[in-house]
Chains A and B, each alone.
Chain A
Amino acid sequence: MSRWGMVIDLEKCNGCEACAAACQAECNQPPVGESEARMGRKISWLKISEELTGKFPDLHRRMIPQPCMQCDDPPCVRVCPVHATYLGEGGIVAQIYQRCIGCRFCMAACPYTVKYFNWYNYAGGLPAAEQEAMNPEVSPRPRGVVEKCTFCHHRLLLAKDQARLQGNDPARAVYHPACEEACPAKAIYFGDLDDSTTEVARLAQSHRASRLMEDLGTNPKVYYLARKENHG
């Protein structure tokens, strides 16, 4: 059984936000419009925060892309009253849009604030041309439910189908999420953390690797590589 994880090299990342754009297109995240975005209702499964350290002229700026951390012990899953969010195959934290009652307890519990809510019927309200341009592999979300990064789970399903067609073991299928593919700096690595032959598993063990809010015990599967002096 795979345990999918991601490593993001912050020293390679140039902050171009291509990953976020690819993520939005791949997973049909609807544009919410300017006034809604100003209210803090933007839906971007991969959000990018800016971190400034030091003082001018010795100023250091870093962009930190944050998808769902895909915790091995996710606080959001613990609080869901209806089993609408759960730890699914390969350790991916999944969300069942048709089950979610929209209580937003998972949003309140997530320390990384990477769960997003459909305050209006954003996807359904898009013009017909944009509706047609949606990725048919990913269902658009209705009003009133929570959504989040799925590590491009639909691509995993495709990879498994392909493996089956080719007569391979679907459990050993490998896939790549949209953000990784789109990154021009090749700063994002993705793969099976439990398979020691993968680059991801090797980098996750690196002395440069750390995770966000590790002390909370959520055990995220997204690792960041940073310069050593920025550690801790």
Chain B
Amino acid sequence: MDRDFRHEADAVLMRPIFERPKYFYPLLGFLLSVIAWAAYCYYLQFNLGLGVTGMNQPVSWGFYVTNFVFFIGISHAGTLISAILRMTQAEWRRPITRIAEMITVAVLGIGGMNVLLDLGRIDRVANVFMYGRYQSPLLWDATSITAYMTASALYLFIPLIPDIAILRQHATGWRGGLYGVLSLGWRGTERQQKILNRCIGFMAVLVIPIAISVHTVVAFVFSMTLQPMWHSTIFGPYFVAGAIFSGLAGLIIVMAVLRWVFHLQDYLQPIHFNYLGLLLLVMSLFWFYFTCAEYLTAYFGNEPGEMRVFWSKMTGEYAGYFWLMVMCNFVLPLPLLVWRRFRQVTGTVIASLLISVGMWLERYIIIVPSMANPRGDLLEKGHYTASYVEWSLMAGCFALFVLIYLLFSRLFPLVSIWEAREGREKTLEIVAARVERYKLGEGRLKEEQ
């Protein structure tokens, strides 16, 4: 049990677990104080009512619903991207799958929590289970998010088992006990490895449709109503594309931070940022395409109710948000992601930061302008300004995300050790054999000529 981890390969991955980083307590204190302030603000809201927010009529949804859609969107980074990369056997996936999967699990909980923050009567949340009606898209959300949460947690845990077994060899005390239980008797036999691989493969296939369904039904919350600029068939795919887009941005930012904090430069190399940057570029183009399709259709149709919302975004009260969103999601990131020279760590991180802001704005200007400009000539326009309570709870959500990640980093390796080893030991041969086969094709081609 007392074998020193420092003599092992991949020791840098185990260091944050066995050696407490010196910033651990200060950072923990800071995060907990932000969360404590947010909790106090929520206590006020719980006691007094949702009046402490800036919401009103007709803008009866605001920051909480925006954050719900935003965080659920970020959650698509993880499991979905990891599943696609695993299934296509992209070799470069190895150091990023776990980071991505952990983002999903952390952020999905926070996204779901925002719906609860938005409830006027959180004390009656059990009514959803006792009297739930499947006609309501909110129930579809609850179902699909719960399924995604369960699948993502399993999909995070299963590939973690061999790593926990590695940690078990080095850990003592409570950690030893914890790893002993969680490693589920893993000894790395051939049979166990086979079952593990099959489970991972099965979960990867299962997770993809669930992930797509999650953001589709999040979009359905809006598109199933008759409200102007919400009642649109494109919303499902538009939200899914936006989710993957913002999720990739979130993944790049988290990877860059972890790389710097935990000295993972050997694992998370510029090539990873380059590849993810390319994916981000594709999604940025997708996003632009969807946005054009959505707004052009509304504009050309010229339906009075929709046009009020449309112009409030183009030139009216929300024009600042709208054009900032276009800048952040498309205009500014495009050159950073197109040119190989900028598509390095710094360039992709700057693009990702811009996209995170842009995608949050997108969620905001989907929700608020439609509510502020209800259909009909008679109805008055509404306005919405978030209160300090809403801002504080949003800060609390981000702090909670960092906290979850910080605690995870102290318990489990951020890069899958066994998969990195497998990559080094086995894949070279496999990939070499694959390339040989390509050469074979070349040979046949010559013969035919």
Tell whether A1 is near chain B: CB-to-CB under 8 Å. no
Chain B residues whose C-beta falls within 8 Å of the C-beta of A146 in the assembled complex: 120
Give every chain A residue within 8 A of B153 (Cβ-Cβ). none
Could you tell me if B227 and A51 are in contact, using CB atoms closer than 8 angstroms? no
Count, A-B residue pairs, CB within 8 A = 139
Per-residue interface assignment for chain B, residues 117 to 128, with 1 indicating a CB less than 8 Å from any chain A CB and 0 otherwise: 011111011011
Is B192 engaged at the interface, CB distance under 8 Å to the other chain? no
Stretch at the interface among B99-107, B129-137, B178-186: B129-137
Q: How far is the CB of A155 from chain B (nearest CB, A)?
A: 26
In the complex, which residues of chain B have a beta carbon less than 8 angstroms from the beta carbon of A216? 226, 375
> Does B382 lie at the interface of the complex (its beta carbon under 8 Å from any beta carbon of A)?
yes
Residues on the A chain within 8 Å of B95, using CB: none
Task: List, in ascending order, chain B residues with CB within 8 A of A101's CB.
Answer: 119-122, 124-125, 127-128
**Digit string of A102-146 for contact with B (CB within 8 Å is 1, else 0)?**
111101110111001111110000000000000000000001111
Q: Does B377 contact A (CB under 8 A)?
A: yes
Assembled-state Cα–Cα distance A94/B401 (Å): 41
A116 touches B57 (CB 8 A): yes
Question: In the complex, which residues 50-78 of chain B have their Cβ closer than 8 Å to any Cβ of chain A?
Answer: 50-51, 54-61
Q: Looking at the complex, which one of A75, A104, A144 makes contact with B49 (CB distance below 8 Å)?
A: A144
Which of A84, A101, A143 is packed against the most chain B CB atoms within 10 Å?
A101
B380 at the interface (CB under 8 A from A): yes
- The residue that A100 contacts in the complex, of B121, B133, B226, B382, with Cβ under 8 A, is B121
* Complex partner residue of B227 from A64, A99, A108, CB under 8 angstroms: A108
Write out the residue numbers on chain A whose beta carbons fall within 8 Å of the beta carbon of B445: none
Do B136 and A80 touch across chains, with their CB atoms under 8 A apart? yes
Instruction: Please state if A113 and B57 are interface contacts (CB–CB under 8 Å).
Output: yes
Q: State whether A82 and B132 are in contact (beta carbons under 8 Å apart), knowing that A102-B120, A117-B120, A119-B50 are contacts in the complex.
A: yes
Contact pick for A103, options B118, B380, B382, CB 8 Å: B118
A83: CB under 8 A from chain B? yes
A17 shortest CB reach to chain B, Å: 15
Chain A residues 182-232 with CB under 8 Å of chain B are 212-213, 216, 218
The CA of A111 and the CA of B379, in the complex, are separated in Å by 10
Given A82-B132, A104-B60, A109-B378 contact (CB < 8 Å): no
- Find residues 138-175 in chain B having any chain A CB closer than 8 Å to their own CB: 138-139, 142
Contact A111:B375 (CB < 8 A) given known A41-B56, A82-B131, A121-B49: yes
Residues on B with C-beta less than 8 A from A83 are 131, 133
Q: Which residues of B contact A213 (CB under 8 A)?
A: 375-376
Closest to B59 in A: A40
A48-92 CB contact bits vs B (8 Å, 1 = yes)?
010100000000000010100000000100111111100000000
Does A165 make an interface contact (CB < 8 A)? no
Q: State A42–B51 Cα separation when bound (angstroms).
A: 12
Given contacts A49-B379, A99-B131, contact A79 B137 (CB under 8 A): yes
B337, chain A: closest CB distance, angstroms? 36
Given the complex, which residues of B lie within 8 Å of A105, measured CB to CB? 136, 138, 221
**B374 adjacent to chain A (CB < 8 Å):** yes
Contact A113 B379 (CB under 8 A): yes
For residue B371, CB closer than 8 A to chain A, the reply is yes
Interface size on B, as a range, is 35 or more
Q: Using Cβ atoms and an 8 Å threshold, which residues of chain B touch A108?
A: 60-61, 225, 227, 371
Flag if A75 contacts B120 (CB, 8 Å). no
Contacts of B50 in A (CB 8 A): 102, 117, 119, 144
Cα distance A90–B181 when bound, in Å? 61
User: A181: which B residues are within 8 A, CB to CB?
Assistant: none
Contact B380 A49 (CB under 8 A): yes
The digit string for B377-408, where 1 denotes a CB below 8 A from any CB of A, is: 11110110000000000000000000000000
A108 to B58, CA, bound (A): 8
Q: Which residues from 218 to 240 on chain B have a C-beta closer than 8 Å to any C-beta of chain A?
A: 221, 224-227
B115: chain A residues at CB < 8 Å are: 103
Q: Which residues of A contact B132 (CB under 8 A)?
A: 81-82
Q: Is B57 touching A40 in the complex (CB atoms < 8 A)?
A: yes
Contact call B58/A40, Cβ cutoff below 8 A: yes
A162 vs chain B, min Cβ distance (A): 32
The answer, yes or no, to whether A36 is at the interface (CB within 8 Å) is: yes
Measured between alpha carbons, how far is A84 from B124 in the docked complex, in Å? 12
Residue B48, interface by CB 8 Å = yes
Residues of A contacting B374 with CB < 8 Å?
A: 111, 113
With A81-B139, A104-B61 known as contacts, the answer to whether A51 contacts B377 (CB < 8 A) is: yes
* Chain A residues within 8 Å of B378, by CB: 49, 51, 64, 66, 212
Nearest A-chain residue to B57, judged by Cβ: A40
Can you list 25 residue pairs at the A/B interface with Cβ under 8 Å?
A36-B51, A41-B51, A41-B56, A51-B377, A75-B226, A79-B136, A81-B142, A82-B124, A82-B127, A83-B131, A100-B120, A101-B119, A101-B120, A101-B124, A102-B50, A102-B119, A103-B115, A109-B226, A113-B57, A118-B49, A143-B49, A144-B121, A145-B120, A216-B226, A216-B375
**Which residues does A use to contact B, with CB under 8 Å?**
36, 39-42, 49, 51, 64, 66, 75, 78-84, 99-105, 107-109, 111-113, 116-121, 143-146, 212-213, 216, 218
10 nearest A-B pairs in the assembled complex, by CB-CB distance: A102-B120, A144-B120, A119-B51, A40-B56, A120-B51, A81-B136, A49-B378, A81-B138, A143-B49, A109-B225
Q: A81-B132, A81-B136, A117-B60 are in contact. List 19 more A-B contacts (CB 8 A).
A: A40-B59, A40-B382, A40-B383, A41-B56, A49-B378, A64-B378, A79-B224, A104-B61, A105-B221, A107-B57, A107-B58, A111-B374, A113-B374, A113-B379, A119-B50, A120-B51, A143-B120, A144-B119, A213-B376
